[in-house]
């Protein structure tokens, strides 16, 4: 396994993580996330290589914005009406930590729990 497995067009396709979408919406809007909803999200992330978890979260966030027709720079619209874009990105980046799932942060194999790269994407 390695980071090359995560890129679109390769053998491995990053899934849309449908179980994590409600977690992101609820957390970002300040609502409590039901245990069963969080468990579904964490299970979906468990099935993804630790190299690819952050990419999967980024892809999920990107697709949620695209579904709602949100352009870069807009905030408070679409999927997250009461949430600033920076908060949405940080919330998505922390889902792996909430699930207590390790990620690989760079090619050296160094591990972490919070996706720093998700928060760095300007258009997410």
Instruction: Judge whether 124 lies within some domain.
Output: no
Q: What is the pTM of this model?
A: 0.78
45 in a domain, yes or no? yes
Which domain, by its residues, includes 34? 19-119
Using N-to-C axis directions, what is the helix angle for 21-28 and 53-67, rounded to 10°? Answer: 70
Within a domain: residue 11? no
Q: What residue has token string 């980046």?
A: 93
Q: How many domains does the chain have?
A: 1
Positive or negative CA dihedral for 108, 109, 110, 112? positive
3-class state of residue 81 by DSSP? coil
* 92 belongs to a structural domain: yes
What CATH number does the domain containing 112 carry?
1.10.110.10
- Ordered per-residue pLDDT tens for the chain, 124 residues: 454 556 554 444 556 789 999 999 898 888 899 999 999 999 999 988 888 888 889 888 888 888 777 655 455 456 777 788 888 888 899 999 999 998 886 666 667 788 875 545 544 4
Which 3 state secondary structure label does DSSP give 111?
Answer: strand
Q: Is residue 101 part of a domain?
A: yes
In a domain, 63, yes or no: yes
Q: Which residue has the tokens 């919330």?
A: 91
- Residue 31 domain-assigned? yes
């Amino acid at each position: 396994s390695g980071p090359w497995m995560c890129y679109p067009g390769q053998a491995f396709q990053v899934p849309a993580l449908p179980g994590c979408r409600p977690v992101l919406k609820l957390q970002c809007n300040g609502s409590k996330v039901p245990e069963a909803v969080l468990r579904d999200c964490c299970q979906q992330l468990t099935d993804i290589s630790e190299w690819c978890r952050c990419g999967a979260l980024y892809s999920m966030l990107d697709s949620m914005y695209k579904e709602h027709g949100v352009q870069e720079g807009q905030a408070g619209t679409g999927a997250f009406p009461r949430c600033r874009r920076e908060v949405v990105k940080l919330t998505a980046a922390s889902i792996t930590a909430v699930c207590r799932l390790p990620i690989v942060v760079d090619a050296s194999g160094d591990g972490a729990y919070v996706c720093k790269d998700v928060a760095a994407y300007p258009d997410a």
